[in-house]
Structure 1
Amino acid sequence: MPRGDKSKYTDKQERKADHIAEGYEKRGVSDSEAERRAWATVNKESGGGNKSGSGRGKKDTHESSEKGGRKGGAAASSRSAAQRSASAKKAAATRKRNAEHAGH
């Protein structure tokens, strides 16, 4: 099987990779880099392709996802309520502005 061949991955693993890549692309990462990072994450969590044989490989660990959640939570908790509120208001204003802009 050549490197980069995705035939040994389950549908669930492919959906997961697509979803992760989408998240990276929304944050401005290039398509190819987003794809690379997404598959690296799937491989880390599931140990590679699980599509074969009895029992379909090992259980997934959600280590990477949990780490991301912890990092985000830690970042938020180290800021004061006023800072978080100001940030949320600024984000809401930006979303509103972008929605108006997209509506043209």
Structure 2
Amino acid sequence: MEDVTAILFIFLIAAIVILWTFSRSRRILENWAINNGYQILSANIRLFRQGPFFLTTSKNQVVYYVTIQTPEGIKKGWVRCGSWWWGILQDKAEVIWDK
């Protein structure tokens, strides 16, 4: 019974960390949009297909493919949340727009 409890505890901790990661990265994305006067129309997390951020993203960062309403019109692009070393503990967002 102790083994089952330990396994359940580990799964619970893992679930909490995953939920916090996605919540925190979404907050960074939303703050980036607000600070730049953008409205997020759609945002999809890209775990594997990371577009122009492929091979340059650490495991501590989260990449989104976004559709944004800007004052100039609708734009699509890639937003990477967090820094290389500190990940999503740092409020950082980088964007590369689609051409």
TM-score by length of 1: 0.27
Higher relative contact order (CA 8 A, sep 6+): 2
Instruction: Determine which structure has more spread, i.e. the larger CA radius of gyration.
Output: 1
Q: Which has the higher helix share?
A: 1
Q: Which has the higher strand share?
A: 2
TM-score by length of 2: 0.28
